[in-house]
Structure 1
Amino acid sequence: MSPSTPPRTDPSERSRSIVRAARRVAEGEGWPAVTVRRLAAEIGFSQPILYRSFPGGRDEIVEQVMVAGFAEMAAELADPVGEGDRLAHVVRAYLAFARTHPALYEAMFEARTRIVFAAAETPAPLREAFGSFLGAVSAGAGDEQAAVVRAELLWSTLHGVARLAASERLDPALEEARLEGILALFRS
């Protein structure tokens, strides 16, 4: 018997279930294991039902995982109430996010996507996450363009450190010194 959609399944809940299943499979087995067939089996829907929710198939599902990931990241990077050092918070929160959500982080930064970054049509969660970088470095920037460049450089630096740490290319004993070095670079 092939899986089919349960009666009266809300389409938005079905889409959320598919996205959650994709993330769960990726976290357990990696992104190559995430296929439309596998997701259909995981949640008990037929493949045509998945394609009805996501006509772009796997790539569209991964894009939704990506957008959801940026929403989570934005929440973690947001300036906490009473936090005195916004830059330190963003640096530490970003690296912790990358370390604790490796499959999600991979989807956010390495998956093929039609999502446009740094443009008017960029989804709000991506802009919100970038806004945290911007807020952390804009005090010393002078003008808007300079602030955006500093924010991009901070993001690029953190991404590089996150990827190198994930692939065990950096000495873990130097983590705190590395963090202090990043903070010194972006405070100047």
Structure 2
Amino acid sequence: MSQHRPPMDPNTSEATGPQLERARAQGEAYAQALKYMAEEVAHDGGTQQAGDYLVGYAIEDAEGMYSFRDGALSWVNPEEENVHVEIAVCDAADGRFVPAVGVTATLVTPGGEELGPYAQELVWHPMLYHYARNWVVPEDGEYTLRVHIDPPAFMRHDEVNGRRFTEPVDVEFTGVKIQRGAEPVTPPQP
């Protein structure tokens, strides 16, 4: 999963060489977690560079998660959902997770039927922030995964390096292996 990283300018009022080294160290830690998720936990996964981003995906069984409903956390198990699609959006320059982007995904079945696009929500995970949702897919097999990323509206430091993440990007992964399944989990009682 090693990728060529475009350079960042260390000679600005906001970015020094030591600061950028620390950012790259954060990105390397995130990359190791992403590699573990995509290659050892998930059924399938991979990465691809798209513009200012490195985009990763992981395919897992649908899973239960906490969600805010009526101002309180509620545990929600998959009902009909049978696949969990995770999307990681990283800074291509240093590998760190990019928050606050709009992520939508479309799956194309082996027979050519398009499912989606659906918004992928930000998921706090103990190991790896990502954008995800549970899906209902009609069959196991090799799918195409199309990911669209809208740029974030957050403010950016640095008059030089801050001029990134300004354009929407699209990335397509082919041969995505999907094996349907669900892992309903009863959360521990407080």
Structure showing the higher helix proportion among its residues:
1
Greater RCO, 1 or 2 (C-alpha within 8 Å, sep 6+): 2
Q: Say yes or no: TM over 0.5.
A: no
Q: TM-score, normalised by structure 1?
A: 0.26
Higher Cα Rg, which structure: 1
